[in-house]
């Protein structure tokens, strides 16, 4: 009973980080390319900058 407990503790913090990490990079990586080509650079950059900053702050704060 003592052996399985330690691994679980280390696994607990790992899952949340793994889920947050892929979520933030995927969102920031996917929107920029299509948005830049579809919309003007001014609109895409102005809209992506605040969104990326808010997503990064939200992920960095809890982490």
CA pair distance 55, 14, nearest whole angstrom: 20
Q: Give the pLDDT band of residue 16 (cuts 50, 70, 90).
A: very low
Domain positions in the chain:
19-60
The per-residue pLDDT for 58 is 66
Q: Give the pLDDT band of residue 18 (cuts 50, 70, 90).
A: very low
Token code pair at residue 49? 């900058």
pLDDT at 50 over 60: yes
CA pair distance 13, 27, nearest whole angstrom: 22
């Amino acid at each position: 009973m003592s052996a399985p407990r330690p691994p679980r503790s280390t696994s607990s913090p790992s899952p949340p980080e793994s889920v947050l990490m892929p979520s933030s990079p995927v969102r920031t990586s996917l929107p920029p390319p299509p948005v830049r080509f579809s919309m003007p650079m001014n609109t895409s950059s102005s809209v992506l900058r605040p969104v990326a900053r808010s997503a990064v702050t939200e992920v960095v704060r809890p982490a």
